[in-house]
C-alpha cells in the first residue's frame, strides 16, 4: 500500500465525518498491495512508501458538539474538504486562519489539533521534514500543555505517522521502534481497559487503534521479509476486526488479504485462497457502494489479483486485472497504484507469449 492511497482513504473518512457530524465511524483499514521494497522506495524518491494516517476527529479532541460549532470549527472543516479535493493551498489557508483564531481565543486543544492537521497536509505535499517537526511539536504540546501520557491514544497515533516518515527517509530502525512502541502501549491500554468497564467509546477507540497498530506493524514486517512475525500480528488484527466489525466488513476482508498474502509466502495458504479473498473484497466494496473513481483500495486489489494470475501463468486474466488497476489508478490519481500496475504489466509482457498492447 502506498502513501497516496492511504492519504486518500483518510481524507475520504474525514469528509464523511464532516458530512455526518453526529455519526461515530469505526476504523477502516485499506488493503495492502504487494508493492515495492523499501530499497525501491528510495530509488524512486520515496514516492511509493506506505503510510497509515490515524484518524482524528474534531469533537474527539475538543469535546465540541455539533450545536456548538463556530467559525473556527467551520474553517477546520473547510480545510479538511479542500485537502480532500487536492486544493492544498486553500487547505493551508483555512488551517492557518483557524490556527490564528484558536490562538486568539486561547483554545489550546484546538491549536494542537490544527497543528496535527497541518502536519498531515505537509505529508500530502511531500514536505516530510516540516511534517515531522509539526508532529513532534504536537507530541510536546500533548505532554506539556495537555498533560497527556506517553500511552495516550493521540501519542500512539502520531508515533505511527512518524514511523512512516522514517520509512521514507530509509531509517527502518526508527520506524520499527515506533511500530513496536504503538503495539506495546496499546496492549497495556487494553489490559487496563479490561479491568475497568469505562466508557464504551474509549474501548471502541482503543480497539480500533490496536487493529491499526497491529496491521501497520504486520505490513512493515512482511515488507522487510519477516513473514512469520507478520503473519502473527496480522492474524491478531484480523481476529480483533472480526470481533468488532464482523467477518463480512471491508476492514476484515482487507486485513484477511494481507494475512493470506503472508501465508502464501509461508506456504500456509494457496494462491486460490488469496484469489478468493481479493475477489470477495472487490465484490463487497462494490456492494457497499465504493465507486471505482473514489475508492482508494480497488485499484490495488486489482493489481494484487493480477499478480496472483501472473504467478499462475494466467496471462489474459492477469492482463485484464492489471489494466483495470492501472485505469483506476489513473482515474483516482493514485501514483503508487499506477506504479504497481505498470510493474505488473511489465511482468505480463515479459512472460506472456502474446504481444502486450498497453
Distance of CA 213 to the CA centre of its chain: 11
Q: Are 234 and 183 in contact (CB under 8 A)?
A: no
The label of the residue with cell 489539533 reads 113
- pLDDT tens track for 149-171: 888 888 999 999 999 899 888 89
Residue 99 belongs to a domain: no
Residue 276 belongs to a domain: yes
What pLDDT shows up at residue 309? 93
Residue 306 belongs to a domain: yes
Instruction: Find the domain containing 316 and state its range.
Output: 270-351
Quote the CA–CA distance of 88 and 81 in Å, as a whole number. 10
Quote the CA–CA distance of 307 and 119 in Å, as a whole number. 35
pLDDT average, residue stretch 112-130 = 91
What pLDDT shows up at residue 280? 87
Cβ burial, residue 273 (10 Å; 0-12/13-18/19+): middle
Structure confidence at residue 203 as a pLDDT band (50, 70, 90): confident
Residue 297 belongs to a domain: yes
CA angle, residues 244, 112, 116, in degrees to nearest 5: 60
- Number of domain units in the chain: 1
Per-residue cell: 163 = 514511523
- pLDDT tens track for 326-354: 998 887 666 667 888 898 999 998 876 55
- pLDDT tens track for 3-18: 444 444 444 444 444 4
Positive or negative: CA dihedral 138, 143, 148, 150: positive
Quote the CA–CA distance of 255 and 135 in Å, as a whole number. 27
Per-residue cell: 284 = 463487497
Main-chain phi, psi angles of 104, to 5 degrees: -60, -30
Residue 193 belongs to a domain: no
Residue 284 belongs to a domain: yes
Residue 277 belongs to a domain: yes
Of residues 128, 123, 125, 150, the one with CA closest to residue 139? 150
Q: Are 148 and 155 in contact (CB under 8 A)?
A: yes
- pLDDT tens track for 291-328: 544 455 688 889 989 999 999 999 999 999 999 999 98
Secondary structure (H, E, C), the chain? CCHHHHHHHHHHHHHHHHHCCCCCCCCCCCCCCCCCCHHHHHHCCCCCCCCCCCCCCHHHHHCCCHHHCCHHHHHHHHHHHHHHCCCHHHHHHHHHHHHHHHHHCCCHHHHHHHHHHHHHHHHHCCCHHHHHHHHHHHHHHHHHCCCCCCCCHHHHHHHHHHHHHHHHHCCHHHHHHHHHHHHHHHHHHHHHHHHCCCCHHHHHHHHHHHHHHHHHHHHHHHHCCCHHHHHHHHHHHHHHHHHHHCCCCHHHHHHHHHHHHHHHHHCCCCHHHHHHHHHHHHHHHHHCCCCCCCCCCHHHHHHHHHHHHHHCCCHHHHHHHHHHHHHHHHHCCCHHHHHHHHHHHHHHHHHCCCCCCC
- Does position 227 have pLDDT exceeding 80, yes or no? yes
Q: Residue 253 CB: number of other CB atoms within 10 A? A: 24
Residue 321 belongs to a domain: yes
What CATH number should be reported for the domain holding residue 337?
1.25.40
Amino acid at each position: 500500500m502506498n502513501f497516496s492511497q492511504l492519504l486518500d482513504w483518510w481524507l475520504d473518512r474525514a469528509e464523511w465525518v464532516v458530512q455526518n457530524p453526529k455519526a461515530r465511524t469505526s476504523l477502516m483499514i485499506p488493503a495492502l498491495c504487494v508493492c515495492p521494497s523499501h530499497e525501491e522506495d528510495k530509488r524512486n524518491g520515496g514516492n511509493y512508501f506506505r503510510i497509515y494516517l490515524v484518524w482524528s476527529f474534531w469533537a474527539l479532541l475538543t469535546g465540541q458538539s455539533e450545536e456548538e460549532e463556530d467559525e473556527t470549527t467551520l474553517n477546520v472543516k473547510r480545510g479538511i474538504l479542500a485537502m480532500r479535493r487536492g486544493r492544498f493551498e486553500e487547505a493551508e489557508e483555512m488551517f492557518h486562519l483557524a490556527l490564528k483564531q484558536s490562538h486568539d481565543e486561547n483554545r489550546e486543544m484546538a491549536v494542537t489539533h490544527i497543528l496535527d492537521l497541518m502536519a498531515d497536509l505537509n505529508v500530502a505535499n511531500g514536505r516530510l521534514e516540516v511534517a515531522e517537526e509539526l508532529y513532534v511539536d504536537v507530541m510536546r504540546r500533548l505532554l506539556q500543555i495537555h498533560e497527556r501520557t506517553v500511552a495516550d491514544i493521540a501519542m500512539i497515533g502520531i508515533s505511527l505517522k512518524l514511523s512512516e516518515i522514517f520509512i521514507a527517509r530509509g531509517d527502518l530502525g526508527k520506524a520499527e521502534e515506533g511500530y513496536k512502541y504503538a503495539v506495546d502501549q496499546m496492549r497495556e491500554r487494553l489490559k487496563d481497559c479490561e479491568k475497568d468497564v469505562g466508557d464504551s467509546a474509549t474501548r471502541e477507540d482503543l480497539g480500533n487503534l490496536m487493529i491499526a497498530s497491529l496491521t501497520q506493524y504486520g505490513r512493515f514486517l512482511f515488507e522487510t521479509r519477516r513473514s512469520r512475525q507478520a503473519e502473527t500480528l496480522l492474524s491478531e488484527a484480523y481476529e480483533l476486526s472480526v470481533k468488532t466489525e464482523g467477518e463480512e466488513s471491508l476492514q476484515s476482508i482487507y486485513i484477511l488479504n494481507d494475512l493470506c498474502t503472508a501465508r502464501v509466502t509461508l506456504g500456509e495458504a494457496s494462491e486460490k485462497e488469496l484469489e478468493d479473498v481479493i475477489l470477495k473484497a472487490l465484490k463487497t466494496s462494490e456492494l457497499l457502494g465504493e465507486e471505482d473513481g473514489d475508492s482508494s483500495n480497488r485499484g490495488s486489489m486489482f493489481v494484487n489479483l493480477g499478480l496472483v494470475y501472473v504467478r499462475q501463468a494466467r496471462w489474459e486474466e492477469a492482463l485484464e486485472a492489471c489494466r483495470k488497476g492501472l485505469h483506476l489508478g489513473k482515474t483516482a490519481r493514485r501514483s503508487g497504484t499506477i506504479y504497481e500496475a505498470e510493474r505488473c504489466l511489465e511482468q505480463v509482457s515479459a512472460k506472456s507469449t502474446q504481444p502486450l498492447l498497453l
